[in-house]
């Protein structure tokens, strides 16, 4: 059977004048948005969507986008969004459970994504602990010693011993490359809301 042909014919390509996809359905912020009810008022089998949270691309291989098994990670050769598991993450013991009452524990497995449906956060199992996906890229800002070769604008959360260079601890510092020193940050506007959230969620 021949492919379904479009009804709009354009004699040239399109150059969008905005910092966003022309088709808003092609990008989601969170992995959980991929299967969230209402994410796609219109959809079709074969639709391609990229996820900002884990920087992966998925193809809809079924008729219902709210079903995890209907999404296949492009390039992985597997379906089911890397085997997504929904449950409830309990911060106090670092475990996942099937119920909001934290009764039945979900054992972590590598290669799977775990979504805590009550707080809409995604985790992976690193073999020992559940690691929140949106925190991993910020792990390098937590330190007890100054980086040996910092670059201008580097941001760290210093939790080490108070020194002349680091008079406050714990505190957020930003490297001033012009003067070759770390400046303690009192103006939170210099750091994006996402960075601040990740820093404080990762306090040792």
What are 19's two structure tokens?
A: 């910092």
CB atoms within 10 A of CB 51: 22
Q: Which pLDDT belongs to residue 56?
A: 85
Q: What is the pTM of this model?
A: 0.40
Q: What is the DSSP letter of 47?
A: -
d(CA 36, CA 157): 34
Is 173 a residue whose pLDDT tops 70? yes
Domain boundary assignment for the chain: 24-73, 84-128, 137-201
Between 101-105, 181-185, 189-193, the lowest mean confidence (pLDDT) is in: 189-193
**pLDDT attached to residue 143:** 63
pLDDT at 101 over 90: yes
φ, ψ at 57 (rounded to 5°): -120, 135
Residue 142 — pLDDT band, cuts 50, 70, 90? low
CA–CA dist 48, 42 (Å, integer)? 13
Q: Which two tokens stand for residue 138?
A: 């910020």
Query: What is d(CA 81, CA 70) in angstroms, rounded to the nearest whole number?
Result: 8
CA distance 25 to 20: 11
Instruction: State the virtual CA torsion across 107, 111, 117, 121 in degrees, nearest 10.
Output: 120
pLDDT reported for residue 127:
81
The residue-averaged pLDDT of 127-140 equals 66
Share of the chain above pLDDT 70, in %: 78
Taking residues 143-164, what's their average pLDDT?
76
Mean pLDDT, rounded, for 129-146: 63
Are the beta carbons of 24 and 50 closer than 8 angstroms? no
The average pLDDT across 12-29 equals 85
What's residue 131's pLDDT?
A: 81
Q: Mean pLDDT over residues 96-108, rounded? A: 90
**pLDDT value, residue 192:** 46
């Amino acid at each position: 059977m021949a492919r379904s042909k479009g009804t709009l014919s354009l004699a040239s390509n399109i150059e969008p004048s905005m910092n966003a996809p022309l088709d808003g359905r092609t990008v989601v912020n969170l992995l959980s948005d991929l299967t969230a009810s209402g994410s796609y008022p219109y959809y079709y089998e074969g639709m391609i969507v990229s996820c900002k949270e884990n920087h992966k691309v998925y193809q809809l291989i079924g008729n219902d986008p709210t079903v995890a098994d209907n999404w296949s990670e492009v390039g992985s050769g597997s379906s089911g969004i890397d085997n997504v598991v929904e449950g409830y993450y309990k911060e106090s013991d670092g475990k996942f459970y099937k119920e909001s009452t934290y009764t039945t524990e979900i054992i972590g497995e590598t290669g799977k994504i775990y979504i805590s449906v009550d707080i809409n956060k995604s985790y992976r199992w690193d073999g020992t602990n559940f690691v929140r996906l949106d925190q991993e890229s910020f792990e390098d800002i937590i330190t007890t010693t100054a980086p040996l070769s910092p670059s201008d604008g580097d941001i760290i959360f210093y939790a080490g011993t108070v020194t002349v260079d680091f008079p406050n601890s714990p505190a957020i510092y930003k490297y001033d490359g012009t003067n070759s020193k770390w400046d303690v940050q009192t103006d939170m506007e210099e750091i994006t809301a996402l960075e601040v959230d990740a820093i404080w969620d990762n306090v040792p």
